[in-house]
Chains A and B, each alone.
Chain A
Amino acid sequence: MSDHRYPHEPTGIETRKLGMWIFLSTEILFFGTLITTYLIFKGRTFDGIKLKEVYDIPFTSVSSFVLLMSSLTMVLAHNAIEKSDQERANIWLLATASLGTVFLAGQIYEFTEFYHKGFTLTVNIYGSTFYVLTGFHGAHVFIGVILLVILWGVGRRQEGLSLDGGMNLEFIALYWHFVDIVWVVLFTVVYLI
C-alpha cells in the first residue's frame, strides 16, 4: 500500500472499510428519516387509491428473494478471493450484479404497474412517500450495481481483486449487504405491516 498511510491504522480496521462503516452510519439516518416520514403519513387519512389495492405481494416477495440471494453470491465472491480463486470470484461478482439488476427490473415493472393502476406519485401523500422511499432504495441498488461493475473492471485490469488496498471487494460488499438489509426493513414496513 502507498506509504502516505504510514500511521498503521490504530483501530486495526482497514481504512477503506472503516470509512465505509462510517458512511453506512450516515445512510441509516437517510433511510431513518424517510421511513419516519412514511410512518407519519401512513397513519393519516387521505383520499384516493392505496398501496394495498394495487400491490402484488408474491411478485415483490420473489424480487426480494432475488436481492437476498445477491447477498449470498456476494459472500461467495468474498470467499473465492480468500481462497485466491480469481475466476470464481469474478463469476460470483457478476452474478451479484445481475441479481441486483433483476431486482431493479422488478422494481421498474412494479412501479409501471402501480402507475397504470392509478397509484401515482401525486395521487396522495401516501403515494408520494412510497415512491420516494422505495425509489431512494432503488437508486442505492443502482449505484451498487455500478460499483460492482467498476470492481469487476478493476479486477480485470489489475491482475485480480483483493480484499484490501485500492478498490477492494470488502468495502463494496459491506455497502451491498447494507442495501440488502435496508430492503428487508422496507419490505416489512411498506408491504407487510
Chain B
Amino acid sequence: MSETIQEKKLLTVFKRPSSSEGIWSWITTVDHKRIGIMYGYAAFFFFLIGGLEALLLRIQLARPENNFLSAAEYSAMFTMHGTTMVFLAIMPISAAFFNYLLPLQIGARDVAFPRLNALSYWIWIFGGLFLYSTFIFGTAGAPEGGYLAEEIGWLGNAPSGGWFGYQPNASIKYSPGTAMDYWAVGLQILGISSLISAFNFITTILNMRAKGMRLMRMPVFTWMIFATAFLLAFSVPIIAIALFFVTFDRQFGTTFFLVEGGGDPVLWQHLFWLFGHPEVYILILPAFGIVSEVLPTFSRKPLFGYAAIVFAGFGIAFIGFGVWAHHMFASSISPVAQAGFGISTMIIAVPTGVKIFNWLGTIWGGKLNLKTPMLFALGFIAMFVIGGLSGVTHSVVPADTQQTDTYYIVAHLHYVLFGGAMFGIFAGLYYWFPKVWGKMYNEKLGQLHFWLMIIGFNLTFGPMHWLGLKGQIRRTWVYAEETNLGFWNMISTIGSFIIALSIIVFMANWAYSRRKGPVAPMDPWDARTIEWTVPSPTPVWNFSTPPEVENLDDFWHKKYGEDSEGRAVRKDTADQLLVDLEEDGLNPKEHIKLPNPSYFPFILALGLPLLGYAVIYKSVALAGVGLVLFLIGGFGWALEPIEEETIENSSTASESVGHE
C-alpha cells in the first residue's frame, strides 16, 4: 500500500507536461513530426539569412573595385554564409525530412528515443543562435597588419576565417577578438546535436521497423538516412576533437596548430577535411534519397536497380572517408599522397555514376508526370551531373592546383550543394507537402519557382566556371578593372537576385497553400511507400494499427497487380483500399500510447550555450549556471515518470495534429 502512495507523490514532483496546444506543447513535444516541422522552419529561416549574406557578397562583386563591403565585412559574410548554409540550413532541413519521414517510412510510431530527438533539436537551435549571437556580443578585432578597426563595422563582428577555419589564420594572433571563438564553440554545440540525432536514427532504423520491413524492403530515402547517420557518427567526432584543440589554442594558450609552439597547421587541415569531406556526402545523400523516391513515383515505374542504388550509397559513404586530402593538394602533402587521393577521388565518382544511371533508367520509358517535385528531381540530376563532372576534374592534381581557391571551385561546390542538395530538398518539400499539411500546394506557382530557380541558379554559378579558369580568386573582396571579369560577375549577381525572387515565390506558395490550398487526398501522387497509407495530415499516432509489409514498394503492390504480359494494372480494390485506409487511420480501434512530452530536453539543451559563453569569457558564474541547468536536465530526464498519454477520442486528437 505504501508503495503506491509513494508513486503518486512522485508524479506530482516530476509531472510530465500535458498541454497539446500553444507554445509549451511545442517546447515540450517529443513527437517526431512536430520536431521535424520545427527543424524545417528554423532551418529555412537560417537558409534565408545565409541567402541574404550571399546577396551581400554578390552585390560587392557585381562591379570591379566595388566598395559596398569592406574586406573585413566581406570575409565575415562569406564565412557566415558557408557556415550557415552547411550547418544551419542544408543539414537541418535534411534532419527535418529525417524526423518527419523516418518513422512513417519504416512503419514506426516514433523514433527510438523521442526525448533525445527533442534534445537534438533544441541543442541545434541553441547552437545556431549561439553562433549568430556573435553579431551582438562578438568582436572581430583588428590584427596587426590586417584590417583597420574602422573597416570592421557591424557586419564584420562575425567569424571571418572561412567555414573551414584554416590555421593559423583563425588563430588568436590573426583573428583576435571573440568572433572566431563563437565559430569554434558554436560548431562544437551543433556537432553534439548531429551526433545525438545520428545514433538515434541508426537505432531507429535497426530496431523500430514494422513487421516484414526487412532491410532490403526499406525505401531508398530511409537507406540514405542510414548512410548519412553513419557518416555523421564517424566524422563529427573528428571535427569535435579538432575544435577542442582550436578552443584550447585560442583560450588557454596551447599550440596544437601553431608552428611557433611546435604545432602543425596542416594537421588542422587533415582533421577538418577528414570530417569535411564526409560532410559533403552528409549534405548530398539525403537529396539522393529524396530524388530516388520522387522519380519512380512520377515516372510510374519502379526504381531501376534498387539494390545498386542502396549499395552505391554505402559505397559513397565508405569511400567518402578516403578522399579528404583532395581538398589539400595545394598544401604540403607528399606526391605519393597526392597520387593516392587523386585516384580515390576518381574512384568515388563510380558509385555516384551508378546512381545517375539508375535514375536515368528509372525515367527511361516511364510515363512522366511533370509536377513540381518531378521538375526539381530532374533539375537535380542535370545540375548534379555538371557539378559531379567538374568535381572529377579535381582529381587531376596538376589541374586542381590551378583551380584551388578560384571561382571554379565555387562553381563546382554550388552545383553539387545547391543544384544538387537544395534542388533535391525542394523536390522533397513539394512532394511531401500534402502529407504534412493535408493541403495541396499551388502547381503553377511551384513550376514558376522551379523555372526561376533553375535559370537564376545557372546564371549565378555557370559563369563562375570561366571566371575561375580566367583566374578570379575566391574569398577576395575586390578584383581589378583590368582583369575584364566585370561582365560575368554582373551576370552572376543578376542571377543571384533571380534565385532570391524564386525563393519569394516559394514562400508565397507555401504560406498561401498551407492555409487556403485545396484539401489533399491521402495519396495524391499514387505513391509507392507506406508513409502514404496514413491520412493527410499525418495523425499524431501515425499508423492506427501497426502496418505489416510484404514487398518493396509495399503500398504500390497493394494497389497494383500484373496482367498476363507483366504490365502493371491497377487493382479494382485499390480505390476502396484507400477509403478504408483513411477511415482506419483516423479512427484507431485501440488505446494508442505515445511517448510523453518532456521539459527536460529543452532545459538540458539550454545549458550548453551558457557553457559556451563560459568558455569564451572564462566566466565561472556562467559555467555554474550552465552546469546546473545541465544537471537538472539530466537528473530530471532520468527520474521522469513514465506516464503514458492515451488517446481515446480521435476528434480532439486530430485537432492537435493540425500543426497550426
Listed in ascending order, the chain A residues whose CB lies under 8 Å from chain B are 2-11, 13, 15-16, 18-19, 22-23, 25-27, 29-30, 32-34, 37, 40-41, 44-46, 121-122, 124-125, 128-129, 132, 136, 146, 150-151, 153-154, 157, 159, 166-167
Tell me, yes or no, whether B592 is within 8 Å of chain A by CB.
yes
- In the bound complex, CA of A83 to CA of B10 (Å): 27
Q: Which residues of B contact A159 (CB under 8 A)?
A: 3
Contact A157 B256 (CB under 8 A): no
Tell me, yes or no, whether B210 is within 8 Å of chain A by CB.
yes
B109, B195, B198, B241: the one within 8 Å of A37 (CB) = B241
Contact B639 A121 (CB under 8 A): no
A33-B237, A41-B262 known; A125-B639 Cβ under 8 A: no
Min C-beta distance of A178 to chain B, whole Å: 14
Contact A7 B245 (CB under 8 A): no
B261 to chain A: closest residue by CB: A125
Tell me, yes or no, whether B206 is within 8 Å of chain A by CB.
yes
Q: Which residues of A contact B213 (CB under 8 A)?
A: 7, 10
B202 to chain A: closest residue by CB: A22
Tell me, yes or no, whether B234 is within 8 Å of chain A by CB.
yes
A10-B206, A150-B635, A153-B638 known; A4-B595 Cβ under 8 A: yes
Given contacts A4-B109, A4-B110, 11 further A-B contacts (CB under 8 A): A6-B546, A22-B199, A26-B195, A29-B233, A29-B238, A30-B237, A37-B267, A121-B248, A122-B255, A124-B261, A153-B638
Min C-beta distance of A53 to chain B, whole Å: 17
Tell me, yes or no, whether B264 is within 8 Å of chain A by CB.
yes
A4-B110, A132-B245 known; A18-B254 Cβ under 8 A: no
Contact A146 B634 (CB under 8 A): yes
Contact A10 B209 (CB under 8 A): yes
- In the bound complex, CA of A31 to CA of B71 (Å): 39
Contact B237 A26 (CB under 8 A): yes
Q: Which residues of A contact B256 (CB under 8 A)?
A: 37, 125, 128-129
A11, A13, A125, A157: the one within 8 Å of B263 (CB) = A125
Q: Which residues of B contact A15 (CB under 8 A)?
A: 112-113, 203, 207-208
Contact B241 A19 (CB under 8 A): no
Tell me, yes or no, whether B594 is within 8 Å of chain A by CB.
yes
A-B contact pairs, 25 of them (CB 8 A): A3-B593, A3-B644, A4-B114, A4-B594, A7-B207, A15-B113, A15-B207, A18-B207, A22-B199, A26-B199, A30-B241, A32-B237, A33-B237, A37-B256, A40-B264, A41-B263, A121-B254, A122-B253, A136-B244, A146-B631, A146-B634, A150-B634, A150-B635, A150-B639, A154-B638
Listed in ascending order, the chain B residues whose CB lies under 8 Å from chain A are 3, 10, 106-110, 112-114, 195, 198-200, 202-203, 206-211, 213, 233-238, 240-242, 244-245, 248, 252-256, 261-264, 267, 271, 546, 592-595, 631, 634-635, 638-639, 642, 644
Min C-beta distance of B551 to chain A, whole Å: 17
- In the bound complex, CA of A167 to CA of B414 (Å): 45
Contact B237 A27 (CB under 8 A): yes
Contact A2 B241 (CB under 8 A): no
**A2, A4, A9 pick with most chain B CB within 10 angstroms:** A4
- In the bound complex, CA of A15 to CA of B205 (Å): 11
Contact B240 A37 (CB under 8 A): no
A7-B546, A10-B206 known; A33-B248 Cβ under 8 A: no
- In the bound complex, CA of A54 to CA of B211 (Å): 60
- In the bound complex, CA of A130 to CA of B271 (Å): 18
- In the bound complex, CA of A9 to CA of B642 (Å): 20
Contact B639 A34 (CB under 8 A): no
Q: Which residues of B contact A10 (CB under 8 A)?
A: 206-207, 209, 213
Q: Which residues of B contact A19 (CB under 8 A)?
A: 112-113, 199-200, 203
Min C-beta distance of A100 to chain B, whole Å: 17
Contact B262 A44 (CB under 8 A): yes
A7-B108, A7-B210, A132-B245 known; A154-B267 Cβ under 8 A: no
Min C-beta distance of A36 to chain B, whole Å: 9
Min C-beta distance of A179 to chain B, whole Å: 15
Min C-beta distance of A140 to chain B, whole Å: 13
Contact A167 B638 (CB under 8 A): yes
Min C-beta distance of B132 to chain A, whole Å: 27
B208 to chain A: closest residue by CB: A7
Min C-beta distance of A94 to chain B, whole Å: 16
- In the bound complex, CA of A37 to CA of B248 (Å): 14
- In the bound complex, CA of A41 to CA of B263 (Å): 8
- In the bound complex, CA of A146 to CA of B635 (Å): 9
**B236, B244, B594 pick with most chain A CB within 10 angstroms:** B244
Q: Which residues of A contact B253 (CB under 8 A)?
A: 121-122
Contact B207 A9 (CB under 8 A): yes
B106 to chain A: closest residue by CB: A7
Contact B234 A29 (CB under 8 A): yes
Contact B244 A5 (CB under 8 A): no
Contact B241 A26 (CB under 8 A): no
A124-B261, A132-B245 known; A26-B233 Cβ under 8 A: yes
Min C-beta distance of B322 to chain A, whole Å: 15
Q: Which 10 A-B pairs have the closest CB atoms?
A: A29-B237, A3-B593, A128-B254, A125-B262, A33-B241, A22-B199, A30-B237, A4-B109, A19-B203, A46-B262
Contact B639 A154 (CB under 8 A): yes
Contact A5 B262 (CB under 8 A): no
Contact A30 B240 (CB under 8 A): yes
Contact A128 B634 (CB under 8 A): no
A10-B207, A15-B203, A132-B245 known; A121-B237 Cβ under 8 A: no
Contact A7 B254 (CB under 8 A): no
Min C-beta distance of B121 to chain A, whole Å: 17
Min C-beta distance of A95 to chain B, whole Å: 20
Contact B639 A157 (CB under 8 A): yes
Q: Which residues of A contact B200 (CB under 8 A)?
A: 19
Contact B592 A128 (CB under 8 A): no
Q: Which residues of A contact B108 (CB under 8 A)?
A: 6-7
Q: Which residues of B contact A27 (CB under 8 A)?
A: 237
Contact B639 A132 (CB under 8 A): no
Contact A4 B593 (CB under 8 A): yes
Contact B267 A34 (CB under 8 A): no
Q: Which residues of B contact A128 (CB under 8 A)?
A: 248, 254-256
